[in-house]
A and B are shown apart, each in its own frame.
Chain A
């Protein structure tokens, strides 16, 4: 009994020693396989571009930064198991995961363990509202994505909105945002529905929407569904003045390509695009593209910024102590090619980075930024 305890201590010590000598390990969890895999690939590329950049500048605290990437296979339980593994390895903080439905339980577990979690992409409001002292988010909350749209809808004199979202943490969050913020801004919500992920036939819902003839069809969906919804909308003849998608599936470069002419005119709210006017944005776009060998999405840029913030916090904390890293994250003030990163408490949110929301539109098969005016060159085009 005594012997084994001693052995455990020695093993633990040697583990800690091994880590303190060669590199600084940063834990990250994302969906490399499963239904969120495309987003996971984007995240991985973002992490790697950031790590290369940091290491070429001399690393952190004089050591190379090393990415310990765990795959959650788009599954909450696997994400929690991965987190436990990373916590036991003694990482100073964890970045992750992709989906809101996975990140929410992850944030609760890591808060209990007092390990800082840096959320790069997941948007569900409740991850940072009310949030926890150990959870920091680089991406904006889903509420902001909807607020961006509300401003634009006001300008476009929209009156009625029909809403369709996926039936999970992300979708429900968007549903709550639009059905509370919309009526407050004077819009009428004429229909609201949600669907389960998977093999979907949206035509019954879309037919119903068609009979209501709304000005806007407001959508929140992951990758495959966003394409299917647009195609089936065309099939059933649903023609609102605007289709509006809250990021995610609609924000992938593959969306406009896969949905073809059915995607034409779709408005999408994002936090980053390759034509945004932040210093270094174009260079970041190019490095991400080289890393991915395909068009990067905002998710890659968010992950890049999260990794920079992680490195910056470890540097300022002067070591791997989790409490010190948490304190350092709280004082983050970073300017990146994704925009500024500063974790603030406001409006019920805790440690939330407020990012400016951009709205893009698919125009003649190309995605262009149309709002806000000061950062965009193109104008909003209307279907009717």
Chain B
């Protein structure tokens, strides 16, 4: 019973955390799917989102979640500009150079934050940081964190909009065409350089928005970007590189596995002394390795053929 009630709560917590993970993963996956670049600076853009919301909250007295309306367009412009100024110069260069460039961009972002805000962890206290909705099912009491539910809803809405854009609009078709075959798209009159910049912009928006959503839940430090990049990487591999639904499922799986793993194992006698909450990150990595072992293309991936 103990295991059941705590397991249910852990499932809910894991799903809600996984929602934000999904948004981070979706950005990385989208950029990879179209541009074949693994953006090693992705996590640093998440942190940039956190600090933008922090700045909005402390200097402009703006609600962190409301600041998405400002942060998202700015993130788009930033991503677009970064591609135009740096990554577009590397089109046709080796994969190594784009990887290194994205790593370098991430370093510049995190050090700029370091310079601007200092090294100490920053937190924002909102009135709704700790509010919960409580659901009573018989003797079972389930708690839904208001802020995490809101974050989940925003994530779902953004990903839904993005998906509609990809499948119905003209630019969406051009994006998909570019992802499938750059030369073919080019022959049909698609300006693939522009498409790449747009995609990098959208990827940056997803990362930064996830950062804004995370700020009221976590303390922000300038150098925490690598943690997010690693998580995003695990998520996209879980779901299959380049697959958006895969990124969403991957994010949810990671959230649930981490949460369930660290709450169930300590309740089981004989195991509790060996598998405490310390292993939280390990549970995610175990699933990651299992997927790589059994289905190397990821849960939703297709084998990528390069032209």
* Residues of chain A whose beta carbon lies under 8 Å from any beta carbon of chain B: 32-35, 37-38, 41, 167, 193-196, 198-205, 207-208, 211, 223-225, 227-228, 231-232, 234-237, 254, 257-262
Contact = CB atoms under 8 A, between A and B. Distances in A.
B17 A201 contact: yes
Given A200-B280, A224-B121, 16 more contacts: A37-B120, A38-B120, A194-B277, A195-B280, A199-B227, A201-B262, A203-B263, A204-B6, A204-B259, A205-B266, A207-B10, A223-B121, A223-B219, A227-B123, A237-B134, A260-B129
B140 interface: no
6 contacts: A35-B221, A37-B119, A200-B280, A204-B266, A227-B219, A228-B218
A260 B119 CA distance: 21
Nearest to B5: A211
B13 interface: yes
Contacts, number: 110
A200 B123 CA distance: 14
Contacts of A202: 277
Contacts of A204: 6, 10, 13, 259, 262-263, 266, 277
Contacts of B278: 167, 194-196
A362 B119 CA distance: 26
B224 interface: yes
A208 B263 contact: yes
A34 B119 contact: yes
Interface in B152-187: none
A235 B132 contact: yes
Contacts of A34: 119, 223
B130 interface: yes
Given A193-B266, A228-B219, A235-B143, A33 B119 contact: yes
A237 B132 contact: yes
A223 B228 CA distance: 20
A205 B259 CA distance: 10
Given A193-B266, A207-B263, A38 B277 contact: no
Nearest to A258: B123
B9 interface: yes
B192 interface: no
A41 B13 contact: no
A193 B267 CA distance: 12
Nearest to B147: A235
A28 to B, nearest CB: 18
Contact of B2 (A167, A201, A211, A237): A211
Contacts of A167: 278
Given A228-B219, A235-B130, A260-B125, A193 B277 contact: yes
A43 B119 CA distance: 15
Interface in B1-45: 2, 5-6, 9-10, 13, 17
A262 B114 CA distance: 28
Contacts of A199: 218, 224, 227-228
Contacts of A224: 121, 123, 218-219, 221
Q: Which of A38, A199, A223, A237 has the most CB of B within 10 A?
A: A199
Contacts of B114: 33
A228 B219 CA distance: 7
B130 A201 contact: no
A314 to B, nearest CB: 31
B118 interface: yes
7 closest residue pairs by CB, A with B: A204-B263, A37-B119, A224-B219, A224-B121, A260-B125, A234-B130, A38-B120
A203 B17 CA distance: 11
A243 to B, nearest CB: 14
Given A38-B121, A196-B280, A201-B280, A236 B143 contact: yes
Contacts of A38: 119-121
B88 interface: no
Interface in B258-296: 258-259, 262-263, 266-267, 276-278, 280-281
A259 B129 CA distance: 10
Nearest to B2: A211
Q: Which of A198, A208, A228, A261 has the most CB of B within 10 A?
A: A208
Contacts of A261: 130
Nearest to B121: A224
B215 to A, nearest CB: 12
